[in-house]
Amino acid sequence: MASSVATAVRSYGPRAAIVDCPAATVIPLAAALQTSGLFSEVVPAEVSVLVTWPSTTTIDDLHGMLQTVDVSGAAPVGRTIEIPVRYDGPDLEHVSEITGCSIPEIVALHTGTTYVAAFAGFAPGFMYCTGLPEQLRVPRRETPRVAVAKGAVAVADVYTAVYPSVSPGGWNLIGHTDVELFDLKAADPSLIKPGDRVRYVVGTS
């Protein structure tokens, strides 16, 4: 059953479902589902929200809420997190060639925007941030790297993100930060949460 908010609801087990929805409604819908108190876990993705629920909730409750929930207002604003970046990435020249922007222009564009942390994926702490200026929207590398350094700041398609740990990766690396994005020893391991605002600033760390 779909609704004015969801394009589809797919069962994901006896106590879970995936709600498909337009990208623009993911964050406000996830916030509404979270604050309802009906669900155990709410996980936003690019164009869907995964929900799980306790035995006191049913999928009918989810369908009922989707029929009445209002996501027409502004998305809830999370914290604002600043990430200091050294713009010395190995793909800066490549991005400059593709976009026609000089390196100072790339830095100005990347730091001149407030991004929205849309969803986590790929690796713990890897947060896809939306709002990348159109001039910086370049495709992923044709050949991914076997290992990308922890803290690499990257762009690909419509997103920008920081690699929270050493891992393979195919994004274009434009800088580096020493900020810890994911720390299992912390009470709250992930520095950035969906809905947070992220600003990249020129820094030495």
Q: What is the pLDDT of residue 1?
A: 47
Tell me if residue 18 falls in helix, strand or coil. Answer: strand
Return the bridge partners of 120, or none.
Answer: 127
Compute the C-alpha angle 101/105/107, nearest 5°: 120
What lies within 8 Å, CB to CB, of 145 at 6+ separation is 168, 169, 170
Question: Stretch 65-77: mean pLDDT, rounded?
Answer: 74
Question: Stretch 131-151: mean pLDDT, rounded?
Answer: 95
Q: How confident is the model at residue 137 (pLDDT cuts 50, 70, 90)?
A: very high
Q: What is the pLDDT of residue 164?
A: 95
Question: Stretch 53-67: mean pLDDT, rounded?
Answer: 88
| Cα–chain center distance at 89 | 21
Using one digit for the tens of pLDDT, what is the confidence trace for 1-58? 455 677 889 998 889 999 998 888 888 888 888 888 889 998 888 889 999 999 888 8
What lies within 8 Å, CB to CB, of 167 at 6+ separation is 122, 123, 147, 148
Using one digit for the tens of pLDDT, what is the confidence trace for 177-202? 999 999 888 888 999 988 899 999 99
Provide Rg for the chain, Cα atoms. Answer: 18
Q: How confident is the model at residue 176 (pLDDT cuts 50, 70, 90)?
A: very high
Q: What is the pLDDT of residue 108?
A: 97
Extended beta strands in 38-90, E state:
41-44, 48-52, 80-85
Tell which residue, 107, 145, 106, 153, has the closest CA to residue 126.
153
Tell which residue, 203, 5, 39, has the closest CA to residue 110.
203
Question: Stretch 148-163: mean pLDDT, rounded?
Answer: 96
Of 141 and 205, the structure prediction assigns the larger pLDDT to 141
Specify the pTM: 0.81
Contacts 24+ apart (CB under 8 A), 18-22: 18/48, 18/49, 18/50, 19/48, 19/49, 19/50, 19/51, 19/62, 19/66, 20/47, 20/48, 21/47, 21/48, 21/49, 22/47
Using an 8 Å Cβ cutoff, are 80 and 129 in contact? Answer: no
Q: What is the mean pLDDT of the chain?
A: 90
Separation between Cα atoms, residue 109 and residue 160, nearest integer Å: 12
Q: What is the pLDDT of residue 180?
A: 94
Return the bridge partners of 81, or none.
Answer: 198
Tokens standing for 58? 């049913």
